[in-house]
Amino acid sequence: MTTRLTTVRAGALTTVQDAGRPGHAHLGVPRSGALDAPAMRLANRLLGNDPDTAVLETTLTGCTLRPDRDVAAVVGGAPCAVTVDGRPAAWGAPVRVPAGSVLDVGTATGGVRSYVAVAGGIAAEPVLGSRSTDLLSGLGPTPLRDGDVLAVGAPARPAPPPVAAPWPGPPAELVLPVRPGPRADWFTPAALRTLTSAAYRVSPHSNRIGLRTEGPPLQRLSTGELPSEGMVLGAVQVPPDGRPVIFLHDHPTTGGYPVVAVVPEPALAAAAQAVAGTPVRFTLA
């Protein structure tokens, strides 16, 4: 029989995520996938899952789930309180959730996104080879709502003995290495110096599509219109207000604002856990 998880409390935004859909940008399909991929993979490894098995990604307020059969679960990523039927349970390590019990993933006490992995993974229907929810295109499962029921896959192998693992803490300061973008010459030399020397901070208007920043605007040298062109993960696009926006996993595949720089993908996991107001610095890679 298939194990099922009932969503008792969906939280602010809880989505199914795995490694995403790379390679479909020419079709207009964003990459999607877990914003903090290292956290997703570590949670899966602790359960004996394949690293990119589908998990739940919560946003700030966690979620609450009830399995109809015994399951093993790991809650990692952003630190939070974890309980099973109201009793404290381990964060960042495997816990047993008996059939009919309630696993509560609490509000993040640091960082933004927690990851809930279960042995066997979330068995949503794949679309273009991925089970990920894509908020921009609408592909994949819809964000969780109270009462939704999720199927759990059969574990690929026996779960390893419960162990704890070191988890990176949320960034007190977000330091993002950048390489020059294809439209760096659309900005004044002073703007390029500002990008790598000024203090920015994470805007509360950030989401899975892009991390918005607050700080000094970047002055453009060219005031012409830019035809839409391809966008990549980590592109630092500059809209008319001059404040840099870092494209994350649900970003559009094309855009008409100039890209002043690009953040290498390995540096983006920390951006997934940077709360609003976190200081941001851009450094030349």
Closest CA to 118 of 15, 7, 44, 18: 44
Assess whether pLDDT exceeds 90 at residue 133: yes
Spatial separation of the C-alpha atoms in residues 280 and 285, rounded to whole Å: 15
Name the 3-class secondary structure at 169. coil
What percent of the chain is predicted at pLDDT more than 70?
100
Closest CA to 55 of 6, 117, 3, 97: 117
In the numeric block, the tokens 């030349």 are attached to: 284
In the numeric block, the tokens 């494209």 are attached to: 247
Amino acid at 233: L
Computed on alpha carbons and rounded to an integer, the radius of gyration of the chain in Å comes to 20
Residue of higher predicted confidence among 192 and 224 = 192
Closest CA to 18 of 171, 124, 108, 96: 124
Residue 5 confidence (pLDDT) = 98
Q: For residue range 145-190, what is the model confidence (pLDDT) as tens digits? A: 999 999 999 987 777 777 778 899 999 999 999 999 999 999 999 9
Amino acid at 177: P
Residue 285 confidence (pLDDT) = 84
Amino acid at 155: P
Burial degree of 1 (CB within 10 A; 0-12, 13-18, 19+):
exposed
Spatial separation of the C-alpha atoms in residues 113 and 59, rounded to whole Å: 5
Q: How far is CA 182 from CA 191, 214, 229, 243, in A?
A: 15, 23, 10, 17
Assess whether pLDDT exceeds 90 at residue 135: yes
Q: Which domains does the chain have, with CATH numbers?
A: 3-152 (no CATH), 174-284 (2.40.100.10)
Assess whether pLDDT exceeds 90 at residue 53: yes
Indicate left, alpha or beta for 186 from its phi (over 0: left) and psi (-120 to 50: alpha): alpha
Q: How long a stretch of residues is the chain?
A: 285
